[in-house]
Amino acid sequence: MVLRVFMNKNKMATFSCPECNRIRQMDVSKYSHINKKIKLKYTCTCKHKSSVILERRQSVREKVSLKGNIVRNLEKTAILVVDISRFGLKIECIDKLELKVGEKILVEFILDDLEQSQIYKGVIVRTVSSGEIGVQFESSDHYDKLGPYLLFHFS
């Protein structure tokens, strides 16, 4: 089993041994400028060896499948939200849509929570490639139903 370890803003990562549950924080700054997947071997003081993937994201991304729309110029374009984090979304356009990096748009989507909560968010387009669009929320403060969803829905 490959574990995920997250690098914080101080370029430190917290490793947790799945065998003995010991926790150790290590400097991983030498990996911060590498632009590809980083897989490391970690040996705990109990001698248990683990494979870990070093994540350099600001927050955890979770895979989802949420239906929604992009609202632009009072027109709606169907989308599917395929992953979500505290800071943004990765979406797939069901219909063809031309977007530019830096463009501000509105997205609406339905959470898969018990209430089927409707979310409306202003976002900024950050990446556009082969049908997938990466967007950043205009604000990372989520006072609507998205806040509790992000906090409690994902393990």
CA–CA distance, 14 with 22 (Å, rounded to integer)? 10
> Using one digit for the tens of pLDDT, what is the confidence trace for 36-95?
888 988 898 999 998 888 877 666 778 999 999 999 888 999 999 999 988 899 999 887
Note if the pTM is more than 0.85. Answer: no
Domains and CATH numbers, the chain: 2-55 (no CATH), 62-153 (2.40.10.220)
3-state secondary structure 122-149: EEEEEEEECCEEEEEECCCCCCCCHHHH
